[in-house]
Amino acid sequence: MAPLPSIFKKAALHVLILTSLYVLALIALTNPWLQRHVIYVHKIHTTWWHDINKPEQFGFAKNQITPFNFSTPDGETIYAWHVMPLGLYAKHESEILQQPSGCTGDITKTKAFRLLKDDPDSRLIINFHGNAGTVAQGWRTDSYRTISDGSSSNIHILAIDYRGFGYSTGFPTEDGVITDGVAAVDWALQVAKVPSDRIVILGQSLGTAVTAGVVERFAKRGIDFAGVVLVAGFTSMPDLLTEYSIAGYIPLLSPLKSHPGLQKYLTSYVVDTWESAARLANVVRLSKKIRLFIIHAKDDHEIPWTQSEGLFAAAANATTDGGLDVTLFEKMKARSTIDMGEGAFISTWKASENKIIREEILAYGHHSRVLTYAPVALAALKAFGLDEGGVLPL
């Protein structure tokens, strides 16, 4: 056995190497191109071995999904999936089966599109996914089924891959990705002619930041939606980076917790800041009507659920003139919170019949799987007014 001092020397050397690597990584990340690759992870996906133009691979009925492209005003081509609800598919199966499969050049010619456009009761969820992968990655495909598959459901889904992701062209930036989201909503409003009160915008993880950015642009145009659902979100990118661990394991800036000054300095290098809390506050102020659902699982090891507390506080605060001090806010929130057991709870902030903000913290769900859990689908049903009706239950 080696004498103790040399073990200590070895350990010290390891610490020195790890620290140097960490510092070098942080320096490298001040490069915007590399930083965006780390934040968006758009090049990590499985289209090399799965052609996502064949959605049957992910368990969908043949032609239940129509892959198609649309363009953004700045010239990018965005790849999207139109997912039709299975119950509706069943009623038109033979006609749908006769149509060509794969990425369609003209979606307006498909039966699925006509069913979305011509039915005055059809509903549409526009889905903004998290970083990495494509519309077909991981729990995402399962989540489309949980959300839309009831036998009498007429809830369609539009899911997109942002620029630089999957088959979409370009390279992601905050402004670019929001432009893609806005273009998706414009497609729904202008091409599919679904009015905004039959549209819910749903985002998970990075997709919550996209949602906040997109909804803010529409609030500025005076357009409100049936509802907005944010799953596993965060208040801003700099805020998140001080707490976030990649895949739950590799910490970014949390090792520097004892040096807030240094953390702050390093976050000043973040190029895409995704200020969701501020954007949501703005949306709440500008909207005539808002149903905002903020959902997060307690056992999310990638983004701590307390980030959703921050989103709720910012949105609720914006329903008041001048804002509430933190103590008063906490008191009011406690009064409208119900305990769901095992640390789970629901808080409902009802500023008026037309402005309702709801935070639901779940005991289970992790970071991505939660998308497939009933509370997310239930939030969409409530936003569409397909629940027992009228007031949202506390």
The answer to the question of residue 105 lying near ligand NAG (CB under 6 A) is yes
Ranges of H-type helices in 203-268: 206-220, 237-241, 260-267
> Which residues, at least 6 apart from 116, have a Cβ–Cβ distance to it below 8 Å?
82, 84, 122, 124, 156, 192, 194
With CB under 6 A, what is the number of residues at the site for ligand NAG?
A: 13
Decide if 77 contacts 169 (C-beta within 8 A): yes
Which one of residues 324, 351, 386, 392 is an interface residue with ligand NAG (CB under 6 A)? 324
Query: In the complex, what is the shortest distance from the CB of residue 267 to ligand NAG, in angstroms, rounded to a whole number?
Result: 20
Return the residues of window 51-90 that contact ligand NAG according to CB under 6 A: 69, 77
Nearer to ligand NAG, 316 or 378 (CB): 316
Q: Which residue among 326, 338, 363, 394 contacts ligand NAG (CB under 6 A)?
A: 326
Q: How far is the CB of 2 from ligand NAG (least distance, A)?
A: 56
Instruction: Please report whether residue 311 would count as binding ligand NAG according to CB under 6 A.
Output: no
Which one, 153 or 307, has the nearer CB to ligand NAG? 307
Using the minimum distance from each CB to ligand NAG, give the nearer residue, 22 or 329: 329
Q: How far is the CB of 325 from ligand NAG (least distance, A)?
A: 6
Which residue stretch of 19-27, 36-44, 298-306, 319-327 sits at the interface with ligand NAG (rule: CB under 6 A)? Answer: 319-327
- What's phi and psi for 329, nearest 5 deg? -60, -50
Q: Contacting ligand NAG (CB under 6 A), which of 148, 204, 317, 372?
A: 317
Judged by CB, which is closer to ligand NAG: 328, or 391?
328
Residue 18, CB-side half-sphere exposure with 13 Å CA sphere: 9
Minimum CB separation of residue 303 from ligand NAG in Å reads 19
Q: Which is nearer to ligand NAG, 106 or 118 (CB)?
A: 106
The CB density around residue 55, as the number of other CB atoms within 10 Å, is: 24
- By CB under 6 A, is residue 323 in contact with ligand NAG? yes
Look-up of token digits 């239930």: 378
Dihedral over alpha carbons 226, 219, 160, 82 (to 10 degrees): 40
**Is the separation of the CB atoms in 181 and 105 below 8 Å?**
no
User: Does 188 engage in binding with ligand NAG (CB under 6 A)?
Assistant: no
Beta strands 65-71; 77-83: pairing state:
antiparallel
Q: Find the shortest distance in angstroms from Cβ 375 to ligand NAG.
A: 24
End-to-end distance of the chain based on CA atoms, in angstroms? 65
The one-letter amino acid code at 264 reads K
Nearer to ligand NAG, 43 or 301 (CB): 43
- Residue 120 backbone phi and psi in degrees, to 5: -65, -10
Phi and psi (nearest 5°) for 80?
Answer: -140, 160
* Three-state SS at 289: coil
Span interacting with ligand NAG, options 118-126, 152-160, 291-299, 321-329, rule CB under 6 A = 321-329
Total count of residues recorded for the chain = 394
Decide whether 325 or 353 has the Cβ nearer to ligand NAG: 325
C-alpha to C-alpha distances, 323 to 219, 270, 277, 313, 359, nearest whole angstrom? 20, 28, 14, 10, 19
Q: Which of 313, 342, 344 is nearest to 329 (CA)?
A: 313
* Selected binder of ligand NAG within 22, 269, 329, 345 (CB under 6 A): 329
Write out the binding residues for ligand NAG, residues 166-185 only, by CB under 6 A. 167, 169
By CB under 6 A, name the binding residues for ligand NAG: 69, 77, 103, 105, 167, 169, 313, 317, 323-326, 329
